[in-house]
Structure 1
């Protein structure tokens, strides 16, 4: 898994910027058909996705990062909800393709954020603010145990006869 030093390197942040840019383009193109308050809400919600990713990344703790990633994911959901509303408005039938593309972008951001939060929740990584020699050594030890267990299982099963129930070919795929 790559390690990112800056939030601008994150694929989900990059995609969320594209979401905000395209939302702004849609708002500009459809401005005479959408009320000011709804345009403003879509503009703020779409930009909120990237802003919350950036703020959480810069905070320095996993718990704070998680909190901001959840907010970012919520903002992506808000964008999708607004786009669902717009898709049903007769005045916006000319924009169905743009609305559908925006919805797909927002869904992609949500999926990426969901996967990222799931990977962080039980990782045991507390964040760079808490990183010291002891926490780094503990994390390395946990990672090597995981690798060691997998290596042991492979070593154990590789010499089993093919008809043995624990042989890899006899186990169901995960």
Structure 2
């Protein structure tokens, strides 16, 4: 093979290697997916077992007042049902709605599903589906996303509390 003919092949191989390396990294994940995976890995006995299979994300949905109120009431009920001691009361909901009414807060609904695998006791892969939800603003800090993202209905704090309570 002539040296000039190997340049395109080498270039293609380099491009393929770069694409493969980038696909195994999660450089382009949204704040929601990053927060969701962080919370998921904290729930596993060994985060090394975690292997992402697929991520599906819905477009951002701007909430109107009715949807926001419905979300807040559902969150309050879920929090109370888990026995979480810092469950939101009605005054908290009214404060959030007032902030919306006067334009201080304009939250959006973010949703993602993550299919992932972990190993069972026999070291066989088992697939799971996690549903992740965040209500807030894209500009919120990453820590805010981690604290407030609900995975399968519970935030990290609510999940931790329910585990302590059940043991």
Which has a greater percent of strand?
A: 2
Which has a greater percent of helix?
A: 1
Q: Give the number of the structure whose alpha-carbon radius of gyration is greater.
A: 1
TM-score range relative to shorter protein: under 0.3
Structure with bigger RCO (C-alpha 8 Å, 6+ apart): 2
